[in-house]
Amino acid sequence: MRDLASIKRLFDAIGRVDAIIATAGHVHFGPLVEMMPEQFRLGLDDKLMGQVNLVLGARNYLNDGGSFTLTSGVIGDAPILQGASAASVNVAIEGFVRGAAIELPRGLRINVTSPTMLEEAREAFGPFFRGFEAASGAWVALAYSRSVEGAESGRVIRCIEMQWTRDAYVLTTDIERFQFDVVHRYLSEVAYWSPGISREKVERAARNSIAFGLFLCDAQIGYARMITDTATFAYLADVFVLPEQQGKGLGKWMMQCVMVHPDLQGLRRIMLVTSDAHGLYALNGFAPPVHPERIMEKVQPPSAP
């Protein structure tokens, strides 16, 4: 992929196609204090420019409406030790995709995916990603930014639309897929924290948050939302998995995905309230407040459901 001429020879041989997916590319992992420029350049020349070359060399071989799918990586949003070069490359690929998306002709589309770990890469890169194994089989698709119209507020929230998969389960932030009858039934009839809440309030709350819907095939079986300014603070609320789907590790997996959403990185504080799920949230770094005496609240009875 470093050789543009070889890319053109490949597509001269196979002809026009509908879609091109790239998961290839080398980067150097190592301590920044020991890294030499040529080691840092490896990822720029190989993973970054290799995928850029693929788009430049193959764009004329895509049929109208065809798509490119490139690969970046989770450490562009969640850096790890010895990963400075890889993080830089991943962010650069995502920037290229955003820029290219608005210029490609003939209805061509371009996306970037962020796999947790490809099986083919586990032997070489697995030691650098200890702790990510629990999410094996999940993937994150950073496809595009979308505007979400507030149900009644008139506000427009810009957010990154995400999707994760594990076997037959899908977690998505595409709120247009949500089955609010299911969400409302659980929050109003089962959840101890919101008895009797109205369906209108459930949907309005979702549309003014970053909301996550958990699905098994086409049926919604779980939900969570993060109330946030996306800059300094967030509050986690309304987390549930339907009773018949509990005991499968889905709540743990859902929380892993929620916590790596790009709009929730770099926040100064994320808070929540729970009566019985302290162990679940502790796995994601939550702990009792260091200074509980500083926390105040004003609790008001709702004027209407």
For position 82, what pLDDT does the model report? 87
Where do the CATH 3.40.630.30 domains begin and end in the chain? 145-154+163-286
- As a whole number of angstroms, the distance between CA 211 and CA 220 comes to 13
20 pairs with which residues across the strands?
A: 68
- As a whole number of angstroms, the distance between CA 224 and CA 108 comes to 34
For position 138, what pLDDT does the model report? 39
In terms of C-beta distances under 8 Å and separation of at least 24 residues, what long-range contacts does 278-281 make, across chains too?
280/251, 280/252, 280/255, 281/236, 281/255
Handedness of CA 74, 80, 86, 87 (dihedral sign): positive
pLDDT tens for the chain, 305 residues: list them.
999 999 999 999 999 999 999 988 899 988 999 999 999 999 999 999 999 999 999 999 999 999 999 999 878 877 778 889 999 999 999 999 989 988 989 989 999 887 666 677 777 777 766 555 434 333 343 333 333 333 344 443 445 667 888 888 999 998 999 999 999 999 999 999 999 999 999 999 999 999 999 999 889 999 999 999 989 999 999 999 999 999 999 999 999 889 988 788 889 999 999 999 999 999 889 999 999 999 999 988 776 55
Q: What is the CATH number assigned to the segment(s) 145-154+163-286?
A: 3.40.630.30
Q: Give me the helices (H) in 190-249, please.
A: 199-207
Alpha-carbon Rg for the chain in angstroms? 22
SS3 call for 5: helix
Handedness of CA 41, 43, 48, 54 (dihedral sign): positive
For position 262, what pLDDT does the model report? 79
Mention every residue, 6+ apart, whose C-beta is less than 8 A from residue 172. Answer: 161, 162, 163, 164, 212, 213, 215
> How would you class 251 by CB atoms within 10 Å of its CB: exposed for 0-12, middle for 13-18, buried for 19 or more?
buried
* E strand spans, the chain: 17-21, 62-71, 109-115, 139-142, 145-149, 156-160, 163-166, 169-172, 210-216, 219-228, 233-241, 269-271
For position 304, what pLDDT does the model report? 55
- As a whole number of angstroms, the distance between CA 13 and CA 303 comes to 69
Third-level CATH fold of 1-143:
Rossmann fold (3.40.50)
Structure tokens, 168? 């037959």
Structure tokens, 305? 């459901």
In this structure, what are the phi and psi dihedrals at residue 26, rounded to the nearest 5 degrees? -100, 145
In terms of C-beta distances under 8 Å and separation of at least 24 residues, what long-range contacts does 38-42 make, across chains too?
39/85, 40/84, 40/85, 40/88, 42/85
Where do the CATH 3.40.50.720 domains begin and end in the chain? 1-143
For position 164, what pLDDT does the model report? 83
- As a whole number of angstroms, the distance between CA 90 and CA 95 comes to 9
For position 125, what pLDDT does the model report? 72
The reported pTM is: 0.54
For position 80, what pLDDT does the model report? 79
For position 129, what pLDDT does the model report? 65
- As a whole number of angstroms, the distance between CA 42 and CA 46 comes to 6
For position 189, what pLDDT does the model report? 96
For position 130, what pLDDT does the model report? 56
